[in-house]
Structure 1
Amino acid sequence: MDKEMIRRCTEAMNEGRMSRRKWLQLMLASGLSMSTISAMLANTGVLVGRADAATPLRVFNVPKFTGFVYFELAKAGGEKACKELGAQQIYIGTTTADVEGQVHVLQNIVPQRPDCIVIAALDINAPVPTLKQARRRGAIVVTFDADVAPAGRDLFINMAPFDVQARAMLESALANAPDGGKAIWIAPTPTVANFISQKKAIDDLIAKDPKFKSIQFVDTLYANDDADKSYSIGTSAMQAHPDLKLFISGSGISTPAINKAIQDTDRVGKVFATGFALPSTMKTYLSSGTCKQYALWSPYKYGYMATYFAILLKSGKIKNAEGVAVDVPTIGSRTIEEGSVADLSSMLFFSKGHDDFDTATPMT
């Protein structure tokens, strides 16, 4: 095989028109040495970190639960990263927010010797022993959306620094209720890492920034990322607190569910539910004025970035060290910070007329 044919085959592999296995077979048949082939892989795709270079890296994507559009979008982003880097994504999880179920899923993954696990954790501690076992067997563990204790993962991809998340939620709260007022924080459970950090950042911001001092939290309620439960506790909370003004939540399930409760109980314009949510679940409430503004980032880009980092770490293309910068396609340069954390940092505000990812207003 001449150089031009090698070039064409390599181009076909990079564009997905030829499998990596077929490409490797052709390169070996052409008489190239394994060292030469490895060097070519390092320059054109993923340097696979095991002896069988013909087998793509396997990335197990474990959402909090399947069937929710947020994680389906993140899954699509992960699939894109895998396609670009020559890896294979396996998407697996429970159908409900079940901590024990998620741990069981991970326990079933470990014997398969995964190369990477990209996980949105339901609990900060419960998955850690199994994730530590996976890491001992060579897996790279990257968390996104919700972190685990540092011993259980290599890297956490955060949607944004928690002070930025807090500001996005509080700015949205004042966009709905300019005078502030009594508020209730809605979280899935007491042990979901990002909700713990979000609420702390919100409390810190209220304490130090006079702009937000008018927002006063009177309670924290737990809805387990369940629409029916969110609706129920929202309805009960409005009865228990007649002067309540705001529900604030980082849950993309709780926020629209409580907006529905506000609408169904004729409290539109009196009580507002905001925080984070998906455009597909909130257009009705923006249109009716039930909600005036909420925030989010792109789940597609989020899943893409988490998977992209996982593959690069496993393939040895980047080191997991503070200060390491990575140019992530379509997102930009992102740096690994102290504690092995990198931020997506692509926060968007959604309002009437700016109610999808293409028209949302970037947070400045």
Structure 2
Amino acid sequence: MKKVALMVLTGVMALSLAACGSTSTNNASSADSGSSGSRTYFINPKSIGPAYWAAAQKGAEQAASDLNVKVVYNAPTEADSSKQINMIQDMLTRKVDGIGVSPNDAKAVGPIFKKALGQNVKIVTWDSDAPDSDRQYYVAPDTDKAVGELLAKTIGDEIGGNGKVAFMVAGLGSENQIAKSDAAKAYFEANYPDIEVVTTVSSDDDQQKAYANAQNLIKTYPDLRGIIGFAGGEPPAAAEVVEQAIKDGTLKQGQIAITGIAVPSVVKNYIKNGTIKTDIIWDPGKLAYATVYVLDQLAQGKEITDGMDIPTVGTVKVDGQNVFIGTLQVTQDNVDSFGF
């Protein structure tokens, strides 16, 4: 049965890869609305493959078409910081006008960002930040603190404010994963002192590793009450493992609550089954679209202002060097309404 479950999860991953369109570090996806577009931007997610980044790619490509610019969307096939930095270096050599990066390691990108700045290349981080670097803006759904607190409140309410909870993250060096999980822990301490965070496990953005992590969690902590997945691959992996354990009779329905950040289409069945009651998400396509838009504004010498309206994205909040597009909550009531 475990083999069957892994095949199901692998099937989901295969769909994600197909949707992504390019899974090779040597086969970048390039969106160009025409030869008249003179500005080129490198949009660099953490990795290529997961459904979250595939949805983001569509937004970046739409922005390229709408703004009449060229976008190169590419990343390593795994969340590898050194490979990511090498790709950025290659794009600087190709003299792109701007880079939009979701750093795998917030500190490691510092030197390459400084080099980009020296070449007058515009720098925007998105999804995950490098706040101590030379980046000019960070595009996100909300502050990492706000998202982390919302996830903690969601799971805390579901388990009645007490019990053991495990954190599943995509990377231990990613600024957004660190900040969100730290905020969740602080929220528990302040509001749910009877909740104990027993461990934090990382998948390195690898779906099968996330699945194995979830298996180990329910074996190691038989009294586990909740799991928070802080990245797109973690909640579906946890949900698949929990549902399989329920079928095998080793867990009872509702014994482990799950919440996290995941693309609605990937967790739709888990939400409908009640395995996941609430999913926290934002439209990754709009996030990538906003990233391209901000880069293009900067490249043209235009200001980024609070309340500005970004086509297809809507009105955004600008707080200092942060651009926020807003979050969404996915439940059984609205899960069918999302197109990503």
TM tier, shorter chain?
0.7 to 0.9
**Counterpart residue identity of residue 249, structure 1:** G
Q: Matched residues in 1 for 2:233 and 2:88: separation?
A: 24
**Counterpart residue identity of residue 222, structure 1:** S
- Aligned-residue offset at 1:180: 4.0
Say yes or no: does 1:278 pair with 2:263. Answer: yes
Say yes or no: does 1:317 pair with 2:298. Answer: no
SS at match of 1:185: strand
- Give the TM-score taking structure 2 as reference length: 0.82
- Aligned-residue offset at 1:178: 3.5
User: Residue by residue, what CA displacement relative to the aligned partner does 1:92-130 show, whole Å, maximum 9, x if unpaired?
Assistant: 211122222111111211111110111111111222212
Q: Is the 8 Å Cα contact of residues 298 and 357 (structure 1) preserved in structure 2?
A: no
Q: Is the 8 Å Cα contact of residues 59 and 285 (structure 2) preserved in structure 1?
A: yes
Q: Is the 8 Å Cα contact of residues 170 and 230 (structure 2) preserved in structure 1?
A: no
Give the number of aligned pairs. Answer: 303
Give the aligned partner of residue 238 of structure 1: 218
Unaligned runs of 5+ in 2: 1-32
- Aligned-residue offset at 1:67: 2.4
Q: Matched residues in 2 for 1:20 and 1:264: separation?
A: 52
Give the aligned partner of residue 11 of structure 2: none
- Give the TM-score taking structure 1 as reference length: 0.77
Partner of residue 165 from structure 1, selected from 130, 147, 152: 147
- Aligned-residue offset at 1:155: 1.0
Q: Matched residues in 2 for 1:19 and 1:241: separation?
A: 56
**Counterpart residue identity of residue 162, structure 1:** D
User: Residue by residue, what CA displacement relative to the aligned partner does 1:193-246 show, whole Å, maximum 9, x if unpaired?
Assistant: 0011112221232233x3x44432122222212121111122112122111111
User: Residue by residue, what CA displacement relative to the aligned partner does 1:224-275 show, whole Å, maximum 9, x if unpaired?
Assistant: 1212111112211212211111111211101111111111222242112211
Q: CA separation of 1:124/1:19 partners in 2, compared to 1, >3 Å: closer, same or farther?
A: closer
**Counterpart residue identity of residue 344, structure 1:** I
Higher alpha-carbon deviation: 256-265 or 325-334: 325-334
User: Residue by residue, what CA displacement relative to the aligned partner does 1:281-309 show, whole Å, maximum 9, x if unpaired?
Assistant: 11121222222222101111111111111
Q: Is the 8 Å Cα contact of residues 279 and 357 (structure 1) preserved in structure 2?
A: no
SS at match of 2:188: helix
Give the aligned partner of residue 291 of structure 2: 306
User: Residue by residue, what CA displacement relative to the aligned partner does 1:76-98 show, whole Å, maximum 9, x if unpaired?
Assistant: 21222222222111112111222
Say yes or no: does 1:248 pair with 2:233. Answer: no
- Aligned-residue offset at 1:19: 5.3
Partner of residue 344 from structure 1, selected from 321, 325, 336: 325
**Counterpart residue identity of residue 57, structure 2:** K
Give the aligned partner of residue 66 of structure 2: 84
Partner of residue 143 from structure 1, selected from 109, 125, 139: 125
Say yes or no: does 1:103 pair with 2:85. Answer: yes
Higher alpha-carbon deviation: 242-251 or 196-205: 196-205
**Counterpart residue identity of residue 267, structure 2:** M
Give the aligned partner of residue 4 of structure 2: none
**Counterpart residue identity of residue 82, structure 2:** E
Give the aligned partner of residue 269 of structure 1: 254
* Structure of larger gyration radius: 1
Identity of aligned residues (%): 24
Say yes or no: does 1:260 pair with 2:226. Answer: no
User: Residue by residue, what CA displacement relative to the aligned partner does 1:150-199 show, whole Å, maximum 9, x if unpaired?
Assistant: 32411111221223202321243145433442101112232110011112
Aligned alpha-carbon RMSD (Å): 2.3
Q: Is the 8 Å Cα contact of residues 140 and 323 (structure 2) preserved in structure 1?
A: yes
